[in-house]
Amino acid sequence: MSRHVAIVTDSTAYLPERAVRQHDIVLVPLTVVIGDRAWEEGTEFSARSLAEALRKRRPVTTSRPAPEVFAATYRRAAEAGAEGIVSLHLSSELSGTYDAAVLAARSAPIPVRVVDTGMIAMALGFCALAAAQAAAADASIDEVVAAAQKRAEGSSAYFSVDTLDYLRRGGRIGTAQALFGSALAVKPLLQLVDGRIEPLEKVRTSARAIARLEEIAVERAGVIGPVDIAVHHLAAAEKAAGLAERLHERLPGLGEVPVSEVGAVIGAHTGPGLLGVVVSARPGGA
């Protein structure tokens, strides 16, 4: 981390490893606990193992990084020559990660700006990439924060789940529980609104849910102009790849569409069968 503003985010960004290395982004892992074992997200524990545990209804919980983990990360950035840090994290409505980072920032040896992006998955990842690109262009710490916030403002996340059971169990469903109740025969479409998971639509079949995700992404791209798109899934790789391919065909000028399996922190609350699309306005409209 030789540049003067270092970029830190957390493992729920689900950034491609190539992008992390290329842009020198530091990932702080959240933790998943299955039974009596704790795992760092993105390291020892695979999404396949998570999906199997969820299907077997084994107890799965998640936890934020300890403030001490962030403190150590910030110290290492300072020792590597950074003069400031921008630390970008998933919505504080969904996790205590932001709060832990804020606590650590108070004792950091260099200035740390902690940003609650209000995002999850690659909606957060695109914010981190925007911040890293600004930092690489020698932007000030305030300009780096502004670049990330602008990207967050232009990003949307939509997803379908096979059942609301996992979201309800984890307390992450918000008002969707009241809307959908116990109507588990439908396939819920959800969206991220003000950092919270909220209902969008309900459809009758998985095929219709996938078709609607595709239409929503195309419609959103038509409203906000040139975009970047990412597709996420849990134990639904073939469906995710097909969705990404169709979006690439339907949106001229769209670059690579990363497809990634979500990790345990999000997967534990959505369950196997999750399919999601992130649509993010490209900086500068280019």
Instruction: Examine the pLDDT at 13 and tell me if it is beyond 80.
Output: yes
Average pLDDT over residues 253-277: 88
What is the arithmetic mean of pLDDT over 196-216?
90
In 87-205, alpha helices (H): 97-105, 121-136, 141-153, 165-169, 176-180
**Using 50, 70 and 90 to split pLDDT, how confident is the model at 43?**
low
Distances (CA, A) of 5 to 100, 112, 141, 233: 20, 9, 6, 32
Identify which has the larger pLDDT, 235 or 268: 235
How far apart CA 222 and CA 192 sit, in angstroms, is 19
Q: Classify the C-alpha dihedral 127-131-137-140 as positive or negative.
A: positive
The fold of 155-285 is Hypothetical Protein Tm841; Chain: A;domain 3 (3.30.1180)
The 10 Å CB-count burial string (b at 16+, else e) for 75-103 is eebbeeebebbbbbbbbbbbbebbebbbb
Distance CA 90, CA 131 (A): 15
Q: Indicate the helix (H) or strand (E) that contains 208.
A: helix 206-224
State the Cα–Cα distance between residues 263 and 282, nearest whole angstrom.
25
> Helices 67-79 and 97-105, interaxial angle, to 10°?
50
Pick the CATH number of 5-30+65-153 from 3.40.50.10170, 3.30.460.10, 3.10.310.10, 3.90.1200.10: 3.40.50.10170
pLDDT greater at residue 184 or residue 14: 14
Band (46; pLDDT cuts 50, 70, 90): low
Helix/strand/coil for 10: strand
Q: What are the pLDDT digits (tens) for 73-104?
A: 999 999 999 999 999 999 999 899 999 999 99
pLDDT band at 181 (very low <50, low <70, confident <90, very high): very low
3-state secondary structure of 272: coil
Break the chain into its structural domains and give their ranges.
Answer: 5-30+65-153, 155-285
Predicted local confidence at residue 182, as pLDDT: 47
Mean pLDDT of the chain: 88
Phi, psi of 39 (to 5 degrees): -130, 145
Q: In which band, very low, low, confident or very high, does the pLDDT at 204 lie, cut at 50, 70 and 90?
A: confident
Which residue, 219, 184, 190, 218, is CA-closest to 204? 184
pTM of the model: 0.90
pLDDT of residue 44: 61
3-state secondary structure of 220: helix
Distance CA 158, CA 20 (A): 24
Q: What is the model's pLDDT at position 241?
A: 97
pLDDT band at 40 (very low <50, low <70, confident <90, very high): confident
User: Using an 8 Å Cβ cutoff, are 277 and 259 in contact?
Assistant: no
What local confidence, expressed as pLDDT, does residue 175 receive?
A: 44
Beta strand pairing status for 187-193 and 112-116?
A: unpaired
Q: Are 163 and 202 in contact (CB under 8 A)?
A: no
